[in-house]
């Protein structure tokens, strides 16, 4: 690859890193008065990045490189990934970018007011405006008659509605009876989460212990606090995580940290030779999420992991956990109950929240559902899937910020993450039959090493589903996830789970 193209890749990657750093700082440390200045700085940096990306000389260089026969396989992948990103940017009219930014500002504002008023009506006009712009965007970026595909492509490159819908529909139909069977056991929520006090300094220290336990490199990253935990990476050697501390709800810190650490391990694991190139990137948000869910749920809510860590947790919170043993803790952190709020959902009910949103998003983009009917369509599905009726729109259709940003196509990446996580974990267990024994003695290195080799260090060499297929022998499937749920929750709840 010629040095000019290589240096442009470095430049785009550096700009992207600095944009991420400024955005991280905005969420974590920015003084209140600096918000307008930071917005301007970020806007300038975004414009610079965009200008460099759509530069016709870059387009020519990529086309020449693509035609030349002397690229290594990694260089071919770099050209392919950057060409795709560039074409999406080129096809996005500048007028639409400006209009979307304004509509997002109005969307967020109207969403906040609507939440305050507990009424969707206040949000409806802003949402309709955003939807019209996203339809325009989808048409500008191109699709085969399915607008949703063009938006999904922004988060899950290569995934299509035609591939996704049958999998999510089958998942939904398997989960509904499973949730009902578990709910019929009527187990009360764990007493150790019933208002007992957990010192937040001790919580913080325990999250740092967990980061070390899973092998997050604290010399190539750090953890801070924010209201909503997130991961933000500028480089494999600079990965920032956040967590949140709540004196009455220690699980949000423990599992928030494990979740973000899963994202962080992925970002820290990109290959050295891919640094500052388009290959030092995740192939999709779903695959990114597979790594966070794997550590948070498949490892972090598992008995082997806590067999090692529970004694230290009990030592950190001797009063709150005085009457709790390992089995009680394990059952408590895996309590299943249909609930209204997605971000509070357990891993059995969680995907039903996603399927509900996916179906509504698709219907909106296809003009099959008028915006005005969104709340009633939401409530009707909540009843069918989870047996619940939201008391107001704030606990229903207005609960997530995604649509206020006009983000359609993002929600399914959470479900893809859960399904990919289960398939990758099943493959890891096949490859590492002693894995549970390793976790029981606090050794996460075999699993981490396997994930590093199979997924993290591969960067964006392959699209997400092809990467999963290369590792597991099969692409997207709900089989491993459902098998995992049946085995785990069947045992925890003493019921035989079908579906």
Stretch that binds Zn ion, among 5-13, 116-124, 289-297, 450-458 (CB under 5 A): 289-297
Contact status, residue 216 vs residue 264, Cβ threshold 8 Å: yes
Question: Residue 266 Cβ, how far from Zn ion at the closest point, in Å?
Answer: 10
Judged by beta carbon, residue 223 or residue 292, the one nearer Zn ion is: 292
- 292 makes contact with Zn ion (CB under 5 A): yes
What residue number has its CB nearest to Zn ion? 292
- CB closer to Zn ion, 232 vs 292: 292
Sign of the alpha-carbon dihedral angle for 59, 62, 64, 67 = negative
Nearer to Zn ion, 127 or 421 (CB): 421
Residue placing its CB nearer to Zn ion in the complex, 138 or 261: 261
Annotated catalytic residue, options 260, 296, 347, 407: 260
259 annotated binding-site participant: yes
Tell me the C-alpha to C-alpha distance, in Å, between residue 346 and each of 166, 332, 338: 23, 11, 8
| Residue with the two structure tokens 């895996």 | 334
Residue 290: HSE in the Cβ half-sphere, 13 Å Cα cutoff: 25
Q: How far is the CB of 481 from Zn ion (least distance, A)?
A: 16
Residue 242 as a binder of Zn ion (CB under 5 A): the answer is: no
Q: What is the nearest approach in angstroms of Zn ion to the Cβ of residue 490?
A: 27
Cβ atoms of 125 and 404 within 8 Å: the answer is no
Helix (H, G, I), strand (E, B) or coil at 241: strand
Q: How far is the CB of 293 from Zn ion (least distance, A)?
A: 8
Q: Please count the other Cβ atoms lying within 10 Å of the Cβ belonging to residue 384.
A: 12
Instruction: Output 229 or 338, the one with its CB closest to Zn ion.
Output: 229
Tell me the C-alpha distance between 269 and 455, whole Å: 9
Cβ–Cβ < 8 Å for 294, 424 = yes
**Stretch touching Zn ion by CB under 5 A, among 31-39, 165-173, 284-292, 425-433:** 284-292
Nearer to Zn ion by Cβ, of 8 and 240: the residue is 240
Catalytic annotation present for 315: no
Smallest distance, Å, CB 263 to Zn ion? 6
Across 463-476, b (16+ Cβ under 10 Å) vs e yields bbbebbeebbeebb
| Contact partners, residue 456, CB within 8 Å, separation at least 6 | 265, 266, 268, 269, 270, 291
Judged by CB under 5 A, the stretch of 12-20, 32-40, 278-286, 290-298 that binds Zn ion is 290-298
Cβ within 8 Å of residue 262, ≥6 positions away: 214, 291, 292, 293, 294, 295, 296
Strand 231-235 relative to strand 221-225: parallel, antiparallel, unpaired? unpaired
Q: Shortest approach of Zn ion to residue 96 CB, angstroms? A: 28
User: How far is residue 266 CA from its own chain's centroid?
Assistant: 12
Residues serving a catalytic function are 260
- Binding-site residue numbers for Zn(2+) are 259, 263, 289
- Binding-site residue numbers are 259, 263, 289
Binding site for Zn ion (CB under 5 A): 292
């Amino acid at each position: 690859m010629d040095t000019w193209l290589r240096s442009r890749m470095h430049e785009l990657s550096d700009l992207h890193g600095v944009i991420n750093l400024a955005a991280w700082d905005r969420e974590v440390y920015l003084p209140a008065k600096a918000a307008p200045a930071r917005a301007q700085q970020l806007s300038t940096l975004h414009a610079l990045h965009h200008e460099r990306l759509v530069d016709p000389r870059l387009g020519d260089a990529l086309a020449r490189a693509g035609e030349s026969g002397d690229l290594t396989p990694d260089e071919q992948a770099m050209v392919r990934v950057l060409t795709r990103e560039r074409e999406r940017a080129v096809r996005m009219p500048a007028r639409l970018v400006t209009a979307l930014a304004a509509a997002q500002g109005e969307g967020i504002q109207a969403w906040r007011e609507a939440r305050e008023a507990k009424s969707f009506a206040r949000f409806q006009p802003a949402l309709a405006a955003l939807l019209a712009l996203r339809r325009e965007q989808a048409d500008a970026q191109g699709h085969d008659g399915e607008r949703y595909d063009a938006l999904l492509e922004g988060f899950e490159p290569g995934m299509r509605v035609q591939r996704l819908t049958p999998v999510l529909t089958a998942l939904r139909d398997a989960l509904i009876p499973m949730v009902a069977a578990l709910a019929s056991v009527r187990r009360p929520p764990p007493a150790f989460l019933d208002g007992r006090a957990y010192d937040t300094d001790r919580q913080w220290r325990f999250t740092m212990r967990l980061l070390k336990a899973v092998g997050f490199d604290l010399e190539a990253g750090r953890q801070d606090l924010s209201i909503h935990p997130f991961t933000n990476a500028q480089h494999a050697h600079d990965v920032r995580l956040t967590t949140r501390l709540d004196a009455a709800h220690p699980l949000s810190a423990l599992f928030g940290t494990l979740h973000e650490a899963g994202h962080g391990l992925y970002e820290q694991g990109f290959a050295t030779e891919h640094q500052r190139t388009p290959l030092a990137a995740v192939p999709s948000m779903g695959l990114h999420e597979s790594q966070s869910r794997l550590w948070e749920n498949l490892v972090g809510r598992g008995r082997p992991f806590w067999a090692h860590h529970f004694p230290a947790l009990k030592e950190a919170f001797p009063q709150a956990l005085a009457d709790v043993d390992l089995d009680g803790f394990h059952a408590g952190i895996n309590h299943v109950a249909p609930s209204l709020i997605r971000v509070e959902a357990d891993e059995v009910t969680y995907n039903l929240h996603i399927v509900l949103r996916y179906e509504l998003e698709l219907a909106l983009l296809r003009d099959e559902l008028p915006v005005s009917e969104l709340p009633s369509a939401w409530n009707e599905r909540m009843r069918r899937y989870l047996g619940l009726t939201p008391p107001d729109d704030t606990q229903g259709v207005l609960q997530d910020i995604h649509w206020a940003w006009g983000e359609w196509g993002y929600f399914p990446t959470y479900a893809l993450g859960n399904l990919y996580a289960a398939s990758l974990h099943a493959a890891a267990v096949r490859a590492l039959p002693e894995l549970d024994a390793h976790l029981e003695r606090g050794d996460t290195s075999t699993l981490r090493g396997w994930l590093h080799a199979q997924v993290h260090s591969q960067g964006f060499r392959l699209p997400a589903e092809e990467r999963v297929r290369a590792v597991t022998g099969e692409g997207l499937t709900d089989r491993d996830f459902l098998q995992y749920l049946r085995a785990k929750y069947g045992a925890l709840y003493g019921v035989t789970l079908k579906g």
